[in-house]
Amino acid sequence: MLSPMKKSELSKRKKFLEFKKNYRLSHPVYNFVHAMFPGVQGLVGFGFISGFLWVSIFDGPVVLLCMLISGGAGYLVIDQSQKEFERYKDRHGFKDQESHKYGED
């Protein structure tokens, strides 16, 4: 049997997960990037993938510069989207809830 403290923690966690689900449904960018690490997926992922586009447009070292700019933009989008959720979560009383637990989403 769970203690009353555990029941209240589980209840609050369930409310938070429902809150997060509703936020993800109403914010498509956050829904896409909610589980990403900004440095890896932003700089490496978006930068590398955009390289295929830039190679077809430019030639030489300009491609590398464009890849870095695209990766930086991807990093900023992911990072800002996750920070906005953290601020929104804090304003709605879920400051003590961890946003990124493995296997909950």
Asked if residue 88 belongs to a domain, the reply is yes
Residue 92 identity (one-letter amino acid): H
**Domain for residue 72, yes or no?**
yes
In a domain, 83, yes or no: yes
Q: Is residue 71 part of a domain?
A: yes
Structural contact between residues 26 and 58, judged by C-beta atoms closer than 8 angstroms: no
* Contacting residues for 41 by C-beta, under 8 A, at least 6 apart: 33, 74, 78
Whether 70 is in a domain gets the answer yes
CA 70 – CA 5 distance, rounded (Å): 47
Q: Is residue 10 part of a domain?
A: no
pLDDT tens-digit profile, the chain (105 residues) = 455 658 888 888 889 889 999 999 999 888 888 878 888 888 888 888 999 999 999 988 999 999 999 999 999 998 999 899 999 999 998 888 887 665 555
User: What range defines the domain where residue 74 resides?
Assistant: 59-92
Length of the chain counted residue by residue: 105
Alpha-carbon span 85 to 55, nearest angstrom? 35
pLDDT score recorded for residue 101: 63
Tokens of 77: 């989008």
pLDDT number for residue 96: 84
